[in-house]
Structure 1
């Protein structure tokens, strides 16, 4: 069993790890390729579907395709790249069958979990890490280049922080340490931004198509790119539009048009507009007086969703 240089004491002091990956999905295959690029040896992976086996052949050509039990037994670093809701069951099953080893590094890539989910492995003497790459993956080779500079949400015991940091840096990432008790909140922040942004953009695309716009994605691209860039640089000071201006009549016309053309979008528009108004007020971009009529319009004809 070998370990990359980290300055940590213990059994892992050589320059190369024997890495096993469960499983060769979109994330596991790319992270395995990143570890191989850093000089580690990918000894084995599990791959059930045709797509996973194909990814293993392309991205992990030196890895034997084995059962999860066999992968675990061969690995100095065992990387668990399974869905969030399956992770606890996989860990428990491997522990019950006695496949974890004392001194073995066991890391998972789930954003939703910290290291508590690895407790059965720790009971067998394994060393736990949570290494979550903040990136979407296609499972294609170009994902390797996209890892460079990507943040990883790392949760680790104090004695394992240097090991987690070293592995992330070797994969091209930047470690951000997340306390165990805040892991769910951390994941909520990522999903709220990335997943809900996809929904929001698709809503906007649908609305523009309803207006006869032939290429709404082309129309929205520059606007959304500038908005994202401004928001990441300026925070709430990047806000523009009728909410921050207190243009109650404009917002009322939006709601009227949506209720006639795309009524399923009205609730989402109201919710986002109310939250936008709240943030604009908190950051003194919108006065309370100007917000009063706006919030009344956003409360709806029956008062639903209005101010408390």
Structure 2
């Protein structure tokens, strides 16, 4: 392991990156920019090698075991499903070292997945950035103010918090048992938002809108901004909801279902009507709970939404 002078202080860690994917390359660059030394990176695919060269110029590309053995701070930025096997395999090789910080960036896991490394004296930390990465320098500015979920044993939790603050992030502590729910919330919000935009854009194209993104932008930006402001204000984002559900307009919802069902017959878009049904049901339930609609209006909406597809 690389020697350091005195106690480990910001700017004095030798960082090794296992997995030069989008996250690893960007975080390595960010840590390097605040004074840490990136001592090695593993990169198997041609794309990851090119990314390492672009984002971490001059850093040697090494085998995984060599990266780990050279590092005081090991960043494991591999896919979730590969993480446990990787950690256990390196433990079997005796690669983990006492006092070495082992940090993974999976949203799904806390530090239990790092137990084999911890058993050999390594310090386990889980740090997950709540943002989407491109793997380019464009991401560096976006790290500023990004929320990072930090999970670590109490005595070493400050290590994770400090590393996040160093690169401009906003750390929040997530308990081990809450990690799965935290990650599900992010995936549900971000990934399904992308699907919704794709579905809406496809329908607009069929309706004759040449630039669906441009048409959607003002509406979606306003809706998202309003909902996020309400969420941050410990309010109910449903209060910002507009459209036929909160008007109790079952007739309009029926028309939407008919049109979207027709779209599915000549485009690969059967998922759109299914999404519309599911999310409209959820909107109905939440609008009723928030007092936006009456019981009778909710029932009319649900009758339309729950009717068999052939009846729409």
TM-score normalised over the length of structure 1: 0.93
SS in 1 for 2:98: coil
Structure 1 unaligned segments of length 5 or more: list them: 5-9
SS in 1 for 2:246: helix
- What CA distance in whole angstroms lies between the structure 2 residues aligned with 1:219 and 1:3? 56
In the alignment, structure 1 residue 95 sits paired with structure 2 residue 95: no
Partner of 2:249: 247
Residues 45-68 of structure 1, C-alpha deviations (whole Å, 9 max, x = no match): 001112211121121123211000
Contact 2:11 2:37 in 1 (8 A): no
In the alignment, structure 1 residue 169 sits paired with structure 2 residue 196: no
In the alignment, structure 1 residue 70 sits paired with structure 2 residue 66: yes
Q: Alpha-carbon deviation of 1:297?
A: 0.6
In the alignment, structure 1 residue 179 sits paired with structure 2 residue 175: yes
In the alignment, structure 1 residue 232 sits paired with structure 2 residue 228: yes
Partner of 1:274: 281
Q: 2:262 aligns with which of 251, 260, 263?
A: 260
Partner of 2:131: 135
- What CA distance in whole angstroms lies between the structure 1 residues aligned with 2:200 and 2:157? 42
Q: Alpha-carbon deviation of 1:3?
A: 8.2
- What CA distance in whole angstroms lies between the structure 2 residues aligned with 1:58 and 1:302? 51
Partner of 2:44: 48
Contact 1:152 1:176 in 2 (8 A): yes
Distance change >3 Å, CA 70–CA 113, structure 1 → 2: same
| Corresponding pairs, count | 299
- What CA distance in whole angstroms lies between the structure 2 residues aligned with 1:3 and 1:35? 17
- What CA distance in whole angstroms lies between the structure 2 residues aligned with 1:130 and 1:2? 24
Q: Alpha-carbon deviation of 1:14?
A: 6.8
- What CA distance in whole angstroms lies between the structure 2 residues aligned with 1:130 and 1:244? 41
Partner of 1:217: 213
Residues 117-160 of structure 1, C-alpha deviations (whole Å, 9 max, x = no match): 00000000000000111111111112111111101111111111
1:139-154 to structure 2, matched below 5 A, reads: 139-154=135-150
- Please list every run of at least 4 consecutive aligned residues from structure 1 whose deviation after the TM superposition is greater than 4 angstroms: 1-4
Contact 1:11 1:103 in 2 (8 A): no
Structure 2 unaligned segments of length 5 or more: list them: 231-236
- What CA distance in whole angstroms lies between the structure 2 residues aligned with 1:243 and 1:64? 57
SS in 2 for 1:130: strand
Residues 83-135 of structure 1, C-alpha deviations (whole Å, 9 max, x = no match): 00000011011110010000000000011111000000000000000011111
- What CA distance in whole angstroms lies between the structure 2 residues aligned with 1:99 and 1:276? 51
Partner of 2:233: none
In the alignment, structure 1 residue 287 sits paired with structure 2 residue 294: yes
TM-score normalised over the length of structure 2: 0.92
- What CA distance in whole angstroms lies between the structure 2 residues aligned with 1:106 and 1:175? 18
Deviates more, 1:154-163 or 1:75-84: 154-163
Contact 1:24 1:53 in 2 (8 A): yes
Distance change >3 Å, CA 158–CA 193, structure 1 → 2: same
- What CA distance in whole angstroms lies between the structure 1 residues aligned with 2:58 and 2:116? 29
Deviates more, 1:115-124 or 1:276-285: 276-285
- What CA distance in whole angstroms lies between the structure 2 residues aligned with 1:175 and 1:14? 16
Distance change >3 Å, CA 14–CA 179, structure 1 → 2: closer
